[in-house]
Amino acid sequence: MSQQQISVITLGVADLAVSRRFYVEGFGWAPVFENDEIVFYQMNGLMLGTWLKAAMEADMGGAPLDGRSAIALAHNVEDEAAVRALVDRLAAFGGKILRPPDAPPHGGFRGHIADPDGHPWEIAWNPAWPISPEGYVTFGL
């Protein structure tokens, strides 16, 4: 039995400055570390890393990582208006809207937007899932 823990999500990026603008100016997040090939953001109990894609490909065995796989990240906000506002803001800082915000069948409200490298984010309001002041998210029905 290994701890139920994810330590890092790493996203491959083509241009660190373009990616940094989306995360720092779009989301408003502060890097905890950065050099000329990677930027780390301290998240809610885990790290988000944006790493030059060529370095990431080399590290992972050399195969090109330029397709679109079935993986999505979500970021939760406090209400429907905040979903709309953040999707608009991210679009202004290099994001591409994949699905304009609407209400899913299970309740709440959400939209999908890709970062400048095509990594998809769901921006969601989900009233059933509590979030602590530190950002720790708990499952709820």
Among 92, 104, 127, 128, binds a second copy (CB under 8 A): 104
If one asks whether residue 102 binds a second copy (CB under 8 A), the answer comes out as no
The answer to whether 98 and 87 have CB atoms below 8 angstroms apart is no
Burial, 97: exposed, middle or buried (Cβ in 10 Å; 0-12, 13-18, 19+)?
middle
Write out the two tokens for 108: 């709440």
The site map against a second copy for 74-93 (x = CB under 8 A) is: xxxx--------x-------
The span from the CA of 128 to the CA of 69, in Å, is: 28
Question: What length does the chain have?
Answer: 141
The answer to whether 64 and 34 have CB atoms below 8 angstroms apart is no
Among 15, 37, 128, 136, binds a second copy (CB under 8 A): 136
If one asks whether residue 18 binds a second copy (CB under 8 A), the answer comes out as no
List contacts with a second copy (CB under 8 A): 1-13, 27-30, 32-33, 40-48, 53, 56-57, 59-61, 63-77, 86, 98-99, 104, 112, 117-120, 122, 124, 126, 129, 131, 134-139, 141
